[in-house]
């Protein structure tokens, strides 16, 4: 009996350790939602959820918030992630305010669009019924005019005028309704386009997000473009958050995002999650891509930040990166897996540097 209890305790310890490794590997914060998701995956390693995670992460790709949501988990937006191998999640760190992503805005837009379509249908059906009734009345009046023509009876003509006036009033009313519905449809179209753009953009930095990067990568591969990809990770970012707070950390991320965007102009820079950014160089030889990224790295390292509230020096903030050319037959997972391994090599080499594989 004691042996069974001991075995059960060891199994629980192994599962607990595996969950910690899972969260660290995917740069997920120690949040109850993330812990529960990892527990579901690891407690049934041959189950469908574990198989789906294995497919997504093939080649070394880490899970994104969107992946977790699509797999039925609750992704925590804005929670602190670990910094590129610099440190593991800290269970003792104070809890942070988190926001669970939802699709309320999208659902509202879809509902409004459905109502708009129904209103269009009702308006068209009403106009069709009016036109059909007007045609029937007009045919009857035509026959009445023909019969009354020799008798010079003006009442039939008066009836046609009355019906025509009535129909014109109904047509004018229907046109006003159609114009109003058209304006509403235009507004909805604009809002849907804005919502689609928001869904592909990181709200903090304004950069494209992981989904936008994945789509752009697939399109570039389909076009046969010459591509290099890089993963950039802010060095010791967790210490910035711990020492100065997340508001300062957010400002640092925005500053580095802008420096990367300016330094890698004409190439796609996206926020991949947490303190990680990705760059897709298109149409550049690997050496030129490295030179461009090195310029951005040097520009970031040369800056000295100060706290806005006190003007106290924050010091230098740097990033490390791994850069690799996309080869024939590469998937996003395989290319990003190589870049990620090179990133870790850069971290081990002292940080604030770029490792490439050519």
pLDDT single digits (tens) 331-346 = 999 999 999 999 999 9
Q: Are residues 345 and 219 in the same domain?
A: yes
Q: Which residues are catalytic?
A: 275
Stronger pLDDT, 134 or 55, i.e. the higher one: 55
- The two tokens of residue 253 are 């991320």
- The values of phi and psi at residue 77, to 5°, are -95, 130
Residue whose entry in the numeric block shows the structure tokens 């003007």: 311
Q: Residue 173's closest CA among 126, 233, 216, 121?
A: 126
Per-residue pLDDT at 115 exceeds 70: no
Return d(Cα 349, Cα 347) in angstroms, integer.
5
Evaluated on CA atoms 122, 126, 128, 129, the torsion sign reads positive
| Burial tier of 233 (Cβ tally within 10 Å: 0-12, 13-18, 19+) | buried
Domain-located, residue 233: yes
- Please, what is the average pLDDT of the chain? 77
Domain shared by 224 and 340, yes or no: yes
pLDDT at 350 over 80: yes
Give the pLDDT confidence score for residue 208 in this predicted structure: 93
- In this structure, is residue 74 part of a structural domain? yes
Do 123 and 180 have their domain in common? yes
Dist CA 218 CA 207 (whole Å)? 18
Assess whether 288 and 176 both reside in one domain: no
Is residue 76 in a domain? yes
Is residue 205, in this structure, part of any structural domain at all?
no
**Do residue 182 and residue 302 come from a single domain?**
no
Task: Check whether residue 242 and residue 305 sit in a common domain.
Answer: yes
Query: CB count, 10 Å around CB of 268?
Result: 20
The residue out of 96, 123, 146 marking a domain boundary is 96
317 touches 252 (CB < 8 A): yes
Out of 164, 199, 234, a domain closes at 199
Give 128 or 311, the one with higher predicted confidence.
Answer: 311
| Domain boundary pick from 176, 199, 222 | 199
How high is the pLDDT of residue 188?
A: 73
Tell me, what's the pLDDT at 119? 63
Q: Is 107 exposed, middle or buried (0-12, 13-18, 19+ CB in 10 A)?
A: exposed
> What is the average pLDDT across 99-128?
57
Instruction: Say if strands 319-325 and 354-356 run parallel, antiparallel, or are unpaired.
Output: parallel
- Contact predicate 263/275, CB 8 Å: no
pLDDT value for 343: 96
Look at residue 32 and give its three-state secondary structure: helix
245 — pLDDT class (breaks 50, 70, 90): confident
Q: Provide the domain count of the chain.
A: 3
- 195 with 128, same domain: the answer is yes
High-pLDDT (> 70) share of the chain, %: 68
My answer on whether 78 and 121 are in the same domain is no
What pLDDT score was predicted for residue 75?
60
DSSP class of residue 114? H
Contacts of 60 (CB under 8 A, 6+ apart): 333, 336, 337, 338, 340, 341
The 3-state secondary structure of 134-187 reads: HHHHHHHHHHHHHHHCCCCCCHHHHHHHHHHHHHHHHHHHHHHHHHHHHHHHHH
Q: Supply the pLDDT for residue 45.
A: 86
Domain that holds residue 119: 104-199
Q: Is the dihedral of CA 168, 170, 173, 179 positive or negative?
A: negative
User: Percent of the chain scored above 90 by pLDDT?
Assistant: 32
- Euclidean distance between CA atoms 64 and 75, whole angstroms: 8
CA 197 remoteness from chain centre: 8
Task: Look up the CATH number of the domain holding residue 225.
Answer: 3.30.70.270
Is the model's pLDDT at 264 over the cut of 90? Answer: yes
Asked if residue 111 and residue 91 are part of one domain, the reply reads no
Kindly give the interhelix angle for 246-263 and 286-302, rounded to the nearest 10 degrees: 140
User: Within 10 Å of residue 35's Cβ, how many Cβ atoms?
Assistant: 19
134 — pLDDT class (breaks 50, 70, 90): low
Between CA 2 and CA 10 the distance in angstroms is 12
Confirm whether 248 is domain-assigned: yes
Residue owning tokens 């990067």: 213
pTM listed for this prediction: 0.54
Do 92 and 226 fall into the same domain?
A: no
Q: What pLDDT sits at residue 15?
A: 86
End-to-end CA distance of the chain: 59
Among residues 302, 306, 293, 289, which one has the least CA distance to residue 261?
293
């Amino acid at each position: 009996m004691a042996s069974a209890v001991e075995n059960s305790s060891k199994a629980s310890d192994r599962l607990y350790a595996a969950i910690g490794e899972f969260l660290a590997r995917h740069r997920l914060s120690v949040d109850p939602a993330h812990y529960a998701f990892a527990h579901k995956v690891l407690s049934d390693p041959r189950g469908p959820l574990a198989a789906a995670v294995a497919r997504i992460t093939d080649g070394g790709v880490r899970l994104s918030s969107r992946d977790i949501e699509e797999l039925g988990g609750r992704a925590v937006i804005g929670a602190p992630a670990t910094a590129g191998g610099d440190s593991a999640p800290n269970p003792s760190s104070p809890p942070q305010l988190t926001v669970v992503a939802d699709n309320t805005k999208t659902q509202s837009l879809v509902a409004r669009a459905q109502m708009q379509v129904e209103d269009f249908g009702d308006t068209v059906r009403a106009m069709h019924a009016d036109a059909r009734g007007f045609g029937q009345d007009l045919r009857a009046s035509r026959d009445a005019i023909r019969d009354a023509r020799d008798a010079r009876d003006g009442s039939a003509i008066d009836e046609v005028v009355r019906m025509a006036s009535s129909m014109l009033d109904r047509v004018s009313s229907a046109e006003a309704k159609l114009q109003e519905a058209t304006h509403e449809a235009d507004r909805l179209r604009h809002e849907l386009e804005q919502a689609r753009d928001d869904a592909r953009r990181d709200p903090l930095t304004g950069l494209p997000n992981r989904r936008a990067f994945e789509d752009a990568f697939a399109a570039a591969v389909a076009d046969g473009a010459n591509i290099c990809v890089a993963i950039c990770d802010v060095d010791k970012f967790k210490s910035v958050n711990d020492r100065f707070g997340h508001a300062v950390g957010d400002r640092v991320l925005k500053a580095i995002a802008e420096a990367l965007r300016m330094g890698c102009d004409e190439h796609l820079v996206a926020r991949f999650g947490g303190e990680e950014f990705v760059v897709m160089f298109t149409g550049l030889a690997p050496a030129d891509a490295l030179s461009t990224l090195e310029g951005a790295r040097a520009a970031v390292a040369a800056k000295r930040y100060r706290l806005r509230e006190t003007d106290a020096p924050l010091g230098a903030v740097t990033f490390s990166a791994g850069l690799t050319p996309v080869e024939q037959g590469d998937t996003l997972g395989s290319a990003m897996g190589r870049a990620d391994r090179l990133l870790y090599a850069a971290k081990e080499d002292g940080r604030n540097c770029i490792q490439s594989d050519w």
